[in-house]
């Protein structure tokens, strides 16, 4: 597609359940980022993938959070045993390796943990 | 670690000029970005500075001073549609690391 897509757009889940959030980056973009944004707050870095390199997981808030990127394209962010404080918008962004250097953001997944 | 600081909220009048400041403390600085984010939407790219000085792009300009760890975004001829959050982001080292400030929520009033 022309831009970064994310699914689902909205997710309501019960506390303790696992959720999977999907990101399809722009075709050919080698870098992929996940961020979390709580209501009225800035972006909190979660994890970064660059090509075949080991991901930078330094932003993951706990071991309940994990992410994979298969085939250098689609990425899945998994939150296990969700807690109410996990409620936020989860944004994915991709960037090409070359010039320009800007990140292109997807529309986000709005997660609500009841 | 690193700190990126910007004011939480600002208010300005339609047609006026507003300057949104961003200060940062980081190692391995490799560029500063400004993004605009309307409520409920994803951030969109506005500007990028890696060298000192002013970058102008239409009504928007961005300034960087690396020695002072300081940037500002200047918005001229404000329009109601400019009401949004403006996010300052710092890239470090070899492009692998990008961290965002908490954002400045700008309200433009008639």
Residue identified by tokens 């400041």 is: B21
What lies within 8 Å, CB to CB, of A16 at 6+ separation is: A81, A82
Are A87 and A111 a contacting pair, CB within 8 Å?
yes
Which among A31, A42, A48 is the nearest to B101, CB-wise? A42
Which pair of structure tokens corresponds to residue B12?
A: 């300005």
Which pair of structure tokens corresponds to residue B77?
A: 């001829």
Q: Is the model's pLDDT at B36 over the cut of 80?
A: yes
pLDDT (0 to 100) of residue B110: 95
Cα A88 from Cα A52, distance rounded (Å): 29
Report how many Cβ contacts below 8 Å link chain A to chain B: 48
Are B105 and B44 a contacting pair, CB within 8 Å?
no
pLDDT (0 to 100) of residue A99: 46
CA distances from A64 to A35, A60, A83, A86 (A): 15, 9, 10, 10
Over the stretch B44-71, which tens digit does the pLDDT of each residue have? 999 999 899 999 989 999 999 999 999 9
Q: Does B95 touch chain A (CB under 8 A)?
A: yes
Over the stretch B90-102, which tens digit does the pLDDT of each residue have? 988 765 678 889 8
Which among A42, A56, A101 is the nearest to B100, CB-wise? A42
Over the stretch A1-33, which tens digit does the pLDDT of each residue have? 579 999 999 999 999 999 999 999 998 888 899
Cα A33 from Cα A104, distance rounded (Å): 10
Cα B103 from Cα B110, distance rounded (Å): 23
Residues of B (50-79) whose Cβ lies below 8 Å from A: none
pLDDT (0 to 100) of residue A51: 82
Which pair of structure tokens corresponds to residue B85?
A: 């959050």
Phi then psi dihedrals of residue B37, to 5 deg? -135, 110
Chain B nearest CA to A80, separation (Å): 25
Quick one: residue B80, left, alpha or beta (phi over 0 = left, psi -120 to 50 = alpha)? alpha
Per-residue pLDDT of chain A (114 residues; tens, 9 = 90+): 579 999 999 999 999 999 999 999 998 888 899 999 988 778 888 999 988 888 888 889 999 999 999 887 899 999 999 999 999 999 999 988 764 568 899 999 999 999
CA distances from A114 to A7, A40, A87, B13, B87 (A): 19, 19, 9, 40, 29
What lies within 8 Å, CB to CB, of A71 at 6+ separation is: none
pLDDT (0 to 100) of residue B105: 95
Q: In chain A, which residues have their Cβ closer than 8 Å to the Cβ of B99?
A: 45
Which among B41, B96, B99 is the nearest to A50, CB-wise? B96
Chain A nearest CA to B93, separation (Å): 13
Which pair of structure tokens corresponds to residue B66?
A: 């690396």
Q: In chain B, which residues have their Cβ closer than 8 Å to the Cβ of A33?
A: 98
Quick check: A41 and B45 CB within 8 A? Answer: no
């Amino acid at each position: 597609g022309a831009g970064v897509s994310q699914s689902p757009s909205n997710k309501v889940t019960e506390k303790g359940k696992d959720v999977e959030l999907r990101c399809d980056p722009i075709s050919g973009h080698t870098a992929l980022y996940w961020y979390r944004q709580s209501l009225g707050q800035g972006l909190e870095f979660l994890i970064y993938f660059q090509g075949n390199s080991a991901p930078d997981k330094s932003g993951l808030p706990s071991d309940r959070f994990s992410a994979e990127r298969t085939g250098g394209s689609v990425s899945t962010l998994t939150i296990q045993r969700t807690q109410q404080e996990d409620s936020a918008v989860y944004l994915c962004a991709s960037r090409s390796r070359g010039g320009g250097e800007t990140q292109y953001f997807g529309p986000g997944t709005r997660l609500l943990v009841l | 670690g690193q700190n990126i600081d910007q004011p939480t909220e600002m208010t300005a009048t339609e047609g006026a000029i507003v300057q949104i400041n961003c200060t940062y403390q980081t190692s391995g600085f490799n560029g500063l970005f400004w993004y605009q984010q309307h409520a409920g939407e994803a951030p969109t790219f506005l500007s990028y500075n890696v060298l000192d000085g002013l970058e102008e792009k239409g009504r928007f300009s961005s300034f960087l001073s690396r020695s002072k760890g300081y940037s500002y975004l200047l918005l001229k001829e404000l329009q109601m549609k400019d009401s949004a959050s403006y996010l300052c982001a710092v890239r470090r080292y070899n492009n692998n690391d990008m961290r965002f400030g908490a954002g400045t929520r700008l309200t433009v009033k008639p």
